[in-house]
Amino acid sequence: MRLSNQIKPISYLKANAAEIIRHLGKKGEPLIITQNGEAKVVIQDIKMYEQTQETMALLKILALGNRQIEQGKVILATDAVNRLRDNKERI
């Protein structure tokens, strides 16, 4: 994806809103809207937005896991299984 092909002025958005929405749905590429020559907003298809949000959530989980590993807040898988087994037997 080349972002340079996806940059349009706000006047283009105003004049071609329906076409832009169709294009976003087909291509899935974001569109950057400029105002006075400066990038102001990014428009993207809802499915791509949701996919981006899910990806961000997964990356946050991975970062949290890495931080916990660095802090030594981990246990061996066998210890975790044993704890689960012990808790299940108590019930």
* Residue 70 in tokens: 């660095």
Render each residue's pLDDT in the chain as its tens digit; 91 residues: 677 778 999 999 999 999 999 999 898 899 999 999 999 999 999 999 999 999 999 999 999 999 999 999 999 999 999 999 988 877 6
Q: What is the dihedral of CA 82, 59, 44, 50, to 10 degrees?
A: 10
Residue 81: count other Cβ atoms within 10 Å of its Cβ.
10
In angstroms, how far is the first alpha carbon of the chain from the final one? 55
Q: Do 1 and 28 have their domain in common?
A: yes
CATH label of the domain that carries residue 38? 3.40.1620
3-to-19, 29, 40, 75 alpha-carbon distances in Å: 18, 9, 14, 44
Q: Residue 36: which domain range?
A: 1-44
Q: Do 38 and 57 have their domain in common?
A: no
Q: Do 54 and 86 have their domain in common?
A: yes
Domain count, the chain: 2
Model pTM score: 0.68
Residue 72: count other Cβ atoms within 10 Å of its Cβ.
6
